[in-house]
Amino acid sequence: MLRMVSFLCLFSFVVNQLEAQWVQTNGPFGGDVYAIAVNGADLFAGTDNGIFHSTNTGSTWTPSGLSSMYVYSFALSGTNIFAGTRGGGVFLSTDNGATWTGRNSGLWNMFVSSLAVNGTSIFAGTSGSGVFRSTNNGLTWTSASGGLTDSSILALGVNGVNIFAGTMNNGVFRSTNNGSAWTAVNSGLTNSQVGTLTVSGSYLFAGTWGGGVCVSTNNGQNWTRADSDLWNPYVRTLASKGTALYAGGGTGVFRSTNSGKNWVSVDSGLINGSVYSIAVNGTNLFAGTYGGGVYLSTDDGTSWSSASSGLTNTSVRALSSDGINVFAGTSGNGVFRTTDGGLNWSPASSGLYDVYISALASSGTNLFAAARSGVFLSTNNGTEWIPVDSGLIYPLFSSLAVSGGTVFAGSSGGGVFLSTNNGTSWSAADSGLTNSIIRSFAVVPDGGGGTNLFTGTSGGGVFLSTNNGTSWTDVSSNLSNLDVRALAGTETRLFAGTLGGGVFCSTNNGGSWVPADSGLTNFNIRSLLTIQGGGVLNIFAGSDSGIFLSTNDGVYWTQVNLGMPNTTVYAFAVNNGNLFAGTVTSGVWRRPLSEMMTGIEPAHDPLPARFYLSRNYPNPFNPSTTIAFGLPKQSVVTLKVFNLLGQLVGTMIDRERLAAGVYARTFSAAELPSGPYFYRLQAGEYTKTETMLLVK
């Protein structure tokens, strides 16, 4: 139903169905967190999808600009917050993260891996061009690399008049004249790859990529090992909290209370052990992980809990639906489940000791998950998992399929394995396979009541089994691209998505192939899905630049990305009339199939389980944006917009009684000046305020 309301001449608001385009669901949470900054009560997380901001000790996070950008470093100077990015250079915020402005004049390398402040000078370490210095808050930069024999800077540190640079290959350099000249200070340093530096009192610590931790008490002139009991020598981050020193790397967090002489592991509750960043905020300790988001410890690292709600930059490699639940397999944070179409996601990973999930498959009440270390099974919707890997002699599993009572698992180098007893035991099923790097499966009706099983490989094309995996036949004749990442089909059509070659179609079970890529603007195909609707075969293709749809057997494709960022799509699932898409760095997105396909009735989503106010999309915007909210029960609703001075600039809803449901308002502010604005929802006793940014 469409409702339209007119207000002041400055505004027009249109109420649309929430799903008038692709919308990001509220999770799963997690993702890659490369840097954490503390500014009073505010926390900032630098991720591979921009910056997120928390004002409540990490309980919830909201996007804070620079979306779709890798943020590797932060530096604070007074009220200024600097962010270093991969490819975008340096950005500055003077309003606590509400807006960000590029500051790159003279900075000819945009890959900024580290930042540091020394008085009125800002230093930027780059990947390949050494160090740059700015003395005017980033307005202009000049090279400050004299004497550096390694131009790849991984870390920067400051101790009084001493500035230190940790490099990729040549250890540590020191400058005592504000970066004008540098001298190598590596005597006793155990490893020349220095990825992190930190100062604690009179001690300078260097974390290396393979040589553990070293300490210097004379500003780098001499170094000694400081990693007794630190059984993982690969250290990515160091931080000090009082007299305690913390080290994070590929196996969690370690703590030393005697300047690195001894270390103890402190990772209870830290599900993801790949720690990229550590930050201290009062009595709280935060750890940013690779794939698992942010974790919080309030007891000096003795125990940790997830603090990632709202960090929706998760990489989702796998999706599965059983008709009620939708499951999402993430890269680094295990499995999540939603029962309300993505309004709420909850972790479903108990017992899942490998949290890098690459494939999911359902068979009745059984849910299988493929991970790097093997296959796991849950019989209670992800509440508990057990490993089912007897006979799986090769790790790195990347694909799953179920055909009748048989489960197939494909590994990245070990071929195909099958189980006929729900994973209790497995046996190799690779007779005839000449390529062992398995990327995809497709179970397709053979037209005679049986099934054909296809597998796509990386470099070997497509193979067919007509006897449930007992033997395989190469069916890649004239398939010009043999890196097959996705397969899908019907009795009469088989489609292969390739990496770099687009989509191919076969009408004879792989006997011959023809290109089916007209209209595709991206030829890296990661996922395929076929759905019959209204007598038409609809084919969805997930690529490195979003989603394409063909309704004529792949003869022509159109992009169906409205509302979705230009991102990689790894997985599809259908639930309650909606198509779900798992993406790299931006979680799960949803859109009704009825918007994209003919012959599909619109789905009626379940009522929200709680009140919520979503972030507007797009943000920043010009001149219109959509604000969505959910009501679990009938409520009197007010929705208003304010400027930075707190002045009311628009009323979208004024004490209107609305039924339970999901709503969205498209807000146009064509005559408003650029800048941040606030919108506030009041629904009964529920109140929430969010920030949006108008950029013209």
CA pair distance 325, 340, nearest whole angstrom:
8
Predicted TM-score of the model (pTM): 0.79
Q: In a 3-state reduction of DSSP, which class is residue 595?
A: helix
Question: pLDDT-based confidence at 15, cuts 50/70/90?
Answer: very low
| Chain centroid offset of residue 606 CA | 27
47 secondary structure, DSSP code: E
Residue 644, CB-side half-sphere exposure with 13 Å CA sphere = 11
> Which tokens hold the place of 283?
């009595």
CA pair distance 25, 161, nearest whole angstrom:
48
CA pair distance 643, 209, nearest whole angstrom:
48
Mean pLDDT along residues 28-55: 93
Mean pLDDT along residues 291-307: 93
- Helix boundaries (H) for 251-298: none
Burial class (CB in 10 A: 0-12, 13-18, 19+), 145: buried
- Tens of pLDDT, residue by residue over 541-551, are 999 999 999 99
- Tens of pLDDT, residue by residue over 190-223, are 999 999 999 988 899 999 999 999 999 999 999 9
Spatial neighbors of 434 by CB under 8 A, at least 6 apart, are 460, 474
Q: Give residue 652's pLDDT.
A: 87
Question: Is residue 122 within 8 Å of 138, Cβ to Cβ?
Answer: yes
- Tens of pLDDT, residue by residue over 450-485, are 889 999 999 999 999 999 999 999 999 999 999 999
Question: Is residue 580 within 8 Å of 554, Cβ to Cβ?
Answer: no
Question: Is residue 30 within 8 Å of 691, Cβ to Cβ?
Answer: no
CA pair distance 552, 1, nearest whole angstrom:
31
Residue 582 sits at φ, ψ, to 5 deg, of -95, 125
pLDDT exceeds cutoff 90 at 118: yes
- Tens of pLDDT, residue by residue over 339-367, are 888 988 999 999 999 999 999 998 878 99
pLDDT exceeds cutoff 80 at 667: no
Angstrom distances, CA of residue 205 to CA of 97, 259, 284:
30, 9, 21
Q: In a 3-state reduction of DSSP, which class is residue 100?
A: coil
- Beta bridge partners, 267, equal none
Q: Give residue 672's pLDDT.
A: 87
Q: Give residue 600's pLDDT.
A: 57
CA pair distance 547, 486, nearest whole angstrom:
14
Question: pLDDT-based confidence at 505, cuts 50/70/90?
Answer: very high
Specify the residue for token string 């009991």: 229
Neighbours of 87 (CB within 10 A): 9
Q: Give residue 19's pLDDT.
A: 45
Residue 37 sits at φ, ψ, to 5 deg, of -125, 145
Question: pLDDT-based confidence at 258, cuts 50/70/90?
Answer: very high
Comparing C-alpha atoms, which of 402, 322, 399 is closest to residue 416?
A: 399
Burial 485-513 (b: 16+ CB within 10 A, else e): bbbbbeeebbbbbbbebbbbbbeebbeeb
pLDDT exceeds cutoff 60 at 18: no
Q: Give residue 236's pLDDT.
A: 94
Q: Give residue 10's pLDDT.
A: 32
> Which tokens hold the place of 468?
């449930």
Element housing 594 (H / E): helix 593-596
Neighbours of 417 (CB within 10 A): 27
Spatial neighbors of 1 by CB under 8 A, at least 6 apart, are none
Query: What percentage of the chain reaches a pLDDT higher than 70?
Result: 95
Specify the residue for token string 């002045």: 647
CA pair distance 373, 350, nearest whole angstrom:
16
Question: pLDDT-based confidence at 2, cuts 50/70/90?
Answer: very low
> Which tokens hold the place of 299?
């007891």
Spatial neighbors of 567 by CB under 8 A, at least 6 apart, are 68, 545, 546, 583, 584, 585, 586
> Which tokens hold the place of 136?
């005017």
Spatial neighbors of 381 by CB under 8 A, at least 6 apart, are 322, 325, 337, 348, 367
- Tens of pLDDT, residue by residue over 316-342, are 999 999 878 899 999 999 999 998 889
Q: Give residue 17's pLDDT.
A: 40
Query: What percentage of the chain reaches a pLDDT higher than 90?
Result: 66
pLDDT exceeds cutoff 80 at 535: no
Q: Give residue 411's pLDDT.
A: 95
**Residue 646 or 166, more confident:** 166
Question: Is residue 683 within 8 Å of 633, Cβ to Cβ?
Answer: no
Q: Give residue 669's pLDDT.
A: 85
Q: Give residue 188's pLDDT.
A: 94
602 prior amide bond cis, ω within 30 = no
Q: Give residue 617's pLDDT.
A: 63
pLDDT exceeds cutoff 60 at 16: no
Comparing C-alpha atoms, which of 50, 33, 16, 43 is closest to residue 693?
A: 50
**Residue 560 or 8, more confident:** 560
Mean pLDDT along residues 131-158: 96
Question: pLDDT-based confidence at 141, cuts 50/70/90?
Answer: very high
